Amino acid sequence: MENIINYYYNLYPNELNKMYNGFYFAINGYKFLLIELILPKSHILDIYEKLMKNNIGFYIIILNKDNNPVSNFDNKEYILFQINGNDKEILKFEEQIYISSKSDVNWGKLWSERIDYYEIQINELAQDKRIVLESIYYYIGLAENAISIANKYKNINENESIIQHYRMNVPIKKGDYFNPGNMLSDVFIRNIVEYIKNSFFCEKKEDEYYLEYIKSFNYTESSANLLLARLLYPTYYFDIFDEIILNDKDEDELIFIINLCYDFENLIIKIYDLLQKKYPILNIDWIRKRTINLLR
């Protein structure tokens, strides 16, 4: 990474730190973040333009030596940002952004492709990983439930499509939240659910806290069902699985998640019950049965 920073930007940091899904460094009191693009550059530049139009300049693109916003190195694309403000500060609720941004994301198709990919990885690279083999098909089952809902509600209401975040880490630091590299256009419930999932496994607040949080928003039939779909899809498990397969992370990292699986199921059931009292929610047989048994 230092070669990219030196060559394209004529900057020579003393130290690089992996942070905010990029490489963070400071020079003479100025803070920078170099990110590798995981989505097409047109996507992130469009998001960035919308942020600038709404006077949100927490991250400012630094043009490279060729006066371009994107630098190419070893068949990968990078953008360097200067960070304005206190990136370590925790985001306040009223500081959240709501910027309209049309989305064509098809969760059902995307998730189906991911499950096909995971099944290949299991067969080729995970046969010696006992914890993975004993747990992953439970989470694939949850994903298949999520896919069945997403396939029915794949036409996104344009009024419900805004700038969202790839992941919502807790506590939510401004450096994460305002990072354009962590943003995409999607249904507004994405942030709600990704926050709940991350908070549940990292903070473990009482279930009532998450129920009250969900009640603070208004939904349509489509967005209510997509909220349930995204809640079912186990990003928290698959993110760790990716690290195990791609970066040799210890599979013991999954144990904490697995030990909370039934607690999280109970939260799903309570949220399902909350939603189905007000919206037509697609029936998932095991959830309906567990709802009757848990809440009667």
What pLDDT is stored for residue 296 in this prediction?
A: 63
58 close to 124: Cβ distance less than 8 angstroms = no
Closest by alpha carbon to 237, among 140, 167, 169, 128? 140
Q: How far apart are CA 163 and CA 36, in angstroms?
A: 20
For each of the domains in the chain, give its residue range(s) and CATH number, in order of start: 2-85 (3.30.200.20), 107-295 (3.90.1200)
Q: How far apart are CA 219 and CA 179, in angstroms?
A: 27
Beta pairing partners, 25: 32
Q: How far apart are CA 289 and CA 268, in angstroms?
A: 13
51 close to 99: Cβ distance less than 8 angstroms = yes
Which pLDDT band, with edges at 50, 70 and 90, does 39 fall under?
confident
Task: State the DSSP H helix or E strand holding residue 295, giving kind and residue range, or none if neither.
Answer: helix 285-295
Please name the residue that has the structure tokens 């989505």: 39
Task: State the DSSP H helix or E strand holding residue 182, giving kind and residue range, or none if neither.
Answer: none
String of b and e for 177-195 (b: at least 16 CB within 10 Å)?
A: bbbbbbbbbbbbbbbbbbb
**Tens digits of per-residue pLDDT, 42-62?**
999 999 999 999 999 999 999
Q: How far apart are CA 222 and CA 149, in angstroms?
A: 10
Q: How far apart are CA 66 and CA 62, in angstroms?
A: 11
Q: How far apart are CA 290 and CA 211, in angstroms?
A: 18
**Tens digits of per-residue pLDDT, 75-123?**
999 999 999 999 999 999 899 999 999 998 999 999 999 999 999 999 9
